[in-house]
Amino acid sequence: MTQNQSNQTTPQQRTIPVCEPTLNGNELKYVTDAIQTGWISSAGKYITQFEEKFAQYCNVKYGVSCANGTLAIHLALAVMNIGEGDEVILPSFTMIGSCNPIVQLGATPVFVDSELETWNIDPAQIESKITPKTKAIMVVHTYGHPVDMDPILTVAHKHHIPVIEDAAEGHGAEYKGRKIGSLGDIACFSFYANKIITTGEGGMVVTNNEQWATKAKNLRNHFFGQPRFLHQETGYNFRLTNVQAAIGLAQVERIDQLVNARRHNAALYNQKIKAAGIRGLITPPQASWAKNVYWMYGLLVQESFGLSMPQLCAELSKRGVETRTFFIGMHKQPCYINYHGKNKPHCSGPYPHAEFLETHGFYLPSSSHLTESEIDHIVATIKAIQQEHQK
């Protein structure tokens, strides 16, 4: 069933997916042009335009596209020459794509717990994790809420450590009026199908550092030189295609509309959950200094709801509402706990807030084109589940 076909049914007639791409702009027009002109691989006008437009949107000078968000993080680390013997500080509460590139480059991840106020890395715990081996601090703007950057930047500048923004989940989010992606030294975005803007699969590194941007472009494309088949460094094949960039350009043209739709839907969820009198749900954070873009509309389930988070998710699934649980902390990943390399991740805790978020958190359907009638149905379903289990 296509997106347009599915939206012609009522909420009760179909399973409401947790997230679908919204592709109702110039995507088909631009992709058709790329195909008809034969520019379907890793060169073409759409790559250049997509990189320029997205960098401009983030208020930075340079954008370097690549095949996915994980590889964007890999490129960011690589241009900083982070590798064996180095350490990178990051939150335990994140998706493993934030962490794997650190390990794969031979560096050691050092985990920090999150704060419950924003669900992001706790700035107060970072400085104690810094050692002479620390070569970067990576923040993750979790589920679309920006990290409290000022205290982190203060610590980073004090110790002369660069800051990487993992902005995969936060296109358009703002910290004190400034776009994420422009706050640290380098930032990484994902354009996976469930992101606010998408290329299907894809990623981008953005930075104001011309040297890093040039190196990232070379690294993503085998580090071809002059003559072409003489390579000064071992690069990668991390390229985005012109067809994907065509989709991305069409998405960037409508990014404000897509961001506003997520924020509008989150406001409707908040309003309707409160109006329904549903107890025991903590709605997503919204700090006074932040613009949360609600990549995913997340909830924390308290004991007073009457069911645990897994039980509520199971009941919603039975009733045709898809959900996803929150991340499982990096400190609990078997692949890291049982890792035998010299750069074994620092998994010893405690990380109580990361574990609380994991065991209590899930998110509801969050597509930009989610309708108010679908939100009404979802909230009514949650209310009905609570009432049924009070009997």
The domain spans of the chain are 27-253, 255-388
Q: State the Cα–Cα distance between residues 220 and 14, nearest whole angstrom.
A: 41
pLDDT in the model for residue 46? 98
Pairing of strands 62-66, 203-207: antiparallel
pLDDT in the model for residue 14? 80
**Exactly one of 61, 158, 179, 195 is catalytic; which is it?**
195
Alpha helices, DSSP H, located in 338-371: 352-360
- Does the structural domain 27-253 have CATH classification 3.40.1550.10? no
CB 347, CB 110: distance < 8 Å: no
Name the phi and psi angles at 177, rounded to 5: 85, 0
Domain 27-253 matches domain 255-388 at the CATH topology level? no
Residues in the chain: 391
Which of the residues in the chain have pLDDT under 50? 1-11
Residue type, 23: L
Q: State the Cα–Cα distance between residues 380 and 16, nearest whole angstrom.
A: 14
Sheet of 290-291, strand order:
178-179, 174-175, 290-291
pLDDT in the model for residue 349? 86
Active-site annotation holds for 383? no
Q: State the Cα–Cα distance between residues 319 and 342, nearest whole angstrom.
A: 48
pLDDT in the model for residue 13? 65
Residue type, 62: Y
Beta strands in 292-356 (DSSP E): 297-301, 324-325
pTM confidence score: 0.94
Name the CATH architecture for the domain at 255-388.
Alpha-Beta Complex (3.90)
Pairing of strands 324-325, 361-364: antiparallel
